[in-house]
Amino acid sequence: MITPVLSPEVAAALADGTAIVALESTIFSNLGLPSPANAEALERCLSIIRSHGAVPAITAVIDGRARVGLSDSEHERILGAARKVAERDLALAIGERWPFGATTVSASLALAAAAGIRVFATGGIGGVHRGVELHGDVSADLPALARHSVVTVSAGAKSFLDLPRTLEMLETLGVPVIGHQCDEFPAFTVVSSGIRLSHRVDDLEVLARVVSARLDIGGGMLVCTPVPVAEAIDAEIMDAAIARALSEAERKGATGPAVTPIVLAEIAQETSGEAVRANLALAENNARLAAEIARRIS
């Protein structure tokens, strides 16, 4: 197992049993949100986690070292150009000493688990891509959710994915999916996908007991909470934007991990920035819920 370098704050929190929330760095890089929205996302996520009594732990590869927790002086480095680092890429990023590798969900889960952190917040997970029967494109996020004993808090999965098949794959992999304050699977910047969830838990104390039981058994869990309604995008507007964005990604010949940043950029443009505002709101909301859970199970 990889041994990440911990920041002094994260190391002290682990020793003291203080609540910690792991965060990916892709969303804060130029691959996740455009500037200056990425800097705003970083500030809002860090602030909300701290205000709820937890320590934020950003994961990244910096100067060839896997990191969990960054100092304030290092934040500027993760806001710029980056290469994505999925779990499978960690060895390459470390061995080739990449200046900055932005961790995806799968890499962040691997590093959080290695550090002993049990709660992770992201925006929306990856999943099964549309047209999977033709190209077999399934995000590494899904098996990572099953493999690592970390609870992930997200606003469901990215809207442009095949959401029914994503949920089916999570069930096949044995990952419990819990809706917090929702009966239907959230669709990232859209409140609901219309797909009914099997489990809903609104009481945070009960949710914490469920999370603790799952982590004791072993394996991960996905806790979903919708984007705040005031910042959510209308489903019909998003569907039209997704169709155009996927067409553009196909025109550019994008495949695999290259599809997501192209589609997100196109959706942001098609929705006149509404998608960016929704992304900021859901990232902050997910970080808040993750901190609430972490504080209760720490």
**Sign (positive/negative) of CA torsion 131, 134, 139, 144?**
positive
Q: What is the predicted pLDDT for the residue at 227?
A: 98
Q: Residue 168's domain is classified under what CATH number?
A: 3.40.1790.10
Domain around 210: 5-297
Helices (H) and strands (E) in the chain, counts: 11, 11
pLDDT digits (tens, 9 = 90+) for 180-207: 999 999 999 999 999 999 999 999 999 9
Q: Hey, which bits of 146-275 come out as E strands?
A: 151-154, 177-179, 199-200, 221-224
Q: Is the pLDDT of residue 264 over 80?
A: no
Residue 272 reports pLDDT greater than 80: no
Total number of domains in the chain: 1
pLDDT in tens, 224-249: 999 999 999 999 988 888 888 778 88
- Residues recognised as catalytic: 24, 158
CB 74 within 8 A of CB 80: no
User: Which parts of 123-194 fold into alpha helices (H)?
Assistant: 132-135, 141-147, 163-173
Q: How confident is the model at residue 61 (pLDDT cuts 50, 70, 90)?
A: very high
pLDDT band at 36 (very low <50, low <70, confident <90, very high): very high
Q: What is the pLDDT of residue 260?
A: 75
Q: What is the mean pLDDT of the chain?
A: 94
CA–CA distances in Å: residue 209 to residues 18, 125, 212: 17, 23, 5
